[in-house]
Structure 1
């Protein structure tokens, strides 16, 4: 039985995994193939104000504009496609190639001022260029010393592991940048950091970001758990194997103020390094919990792979 369930996830095989912090374990339930609908829910602590994905079937003869509520969109001209296609606009996977993306931003001396936007189906190519529109966060401009006129849309080239700048047009009124492309990928707005007017970290308690790296860990490399919850009283991580057995827990997190290039600027950043020498290869589930008096706990869950 469950005493204090705090999170749930559905595995590809349809089984339901529930984190029970009261008994310090993860429990797996097998669900019937049909007859149930399982809803996902927020892990709490941050606004779930995530923008809903946009999707629309575009007639290849007429073309169309597909737009998300926040202004992220694409204009597909007529005959740019050979067949009708359902086009999607969703949040990009910022954890994919996370370390390489951050390192490349630093090498190029650019700062992200938007979240990544994924246009799909990924890899789609067009007969004639389509026009992408990616919104940006105006509050990040002055905070990071960026000249708004120098903003560009960048796309992540997964083969080269590199950000590539695109010829772009800045719409200051609507706070968006447009660019033309002949293929779909992940895109983000950025600009050269000026080093002036750098903002202090925001102390307000709320989830900005949370992830683990390297993922997977290879050759015994330590795993770092990172959480950006504002200013917390305490942060703890618990790690479980696939049987639900706890294999690691710690509240030894180092606090620093860091801009890791994720488009959220300077943040109070809590890091914990896990020495994986005591566990074998496999996939592990983690739960990071941040606490602050008078506030609801913030929890970030995920999986990390260990390859030895």
Structure 2
């Protein structure tokens, strides 16, 4: 099976360098027409120039592909709407959205300014919301869409000094969970990519040998699968150094303890049972947690 994107139109945010650039180049190489979006700021979100995006467009065109540059900030919904309209005016459709734009403002939570927390949330979370909201009605109307959120192990599992980044990345996983349900009837598939890649954000943090193994291009195959016609739905694919895994948010079978006055004490003693992974499930919707809990309660009461 060959993955190709002939006739498809893709928008990739934060595509002026690093992982986003590799996403844009790979989609274009396989036939997609690409909107290369990048504000052109540094990893902290400071500054702005369309030159980075234009350089990627020039590279795509030199290889025989089609692309246009856009410098909208994903935090500006009006600018994002204009970017999507540019794609529609140019090519008449939008099939793929890769929400890749992001910044870092790393510090321990005790030392972190609230403004830095809010800005990271705005770029990662509201940036993805703005872009997805702008393309959603188009994808609904054409009964086709592929949306890729960029989550992170920092959100899924935590990472010291990244409370803001981790909160934002876990929020994107939650956004993916619900949009994948809502989009399914319109053939809109929504997934999340958790990349481990060496980019401007990781310079100076890892040994050279490790950085080489973590080339951004090694993550791209996971994005291509999630952007393809045969994409999964509601899947978190972790990728790095040519290795690929799937992350699940699971639910253990737990225990039913009732609601007596000593339930807090009994719960404290039963925590090891709650952690028991035997029989754990991957719920397909939030209601499955309630169904499990009510079912155990009914069983306990002989209902």
TM-score (norm 1): 0.24
Instruction: Report the structure, 1 or 2, having the larger strand content.
Output: 1
Instruction: Report the structure, 1 or 2, having the larger helix content.
Output: 2
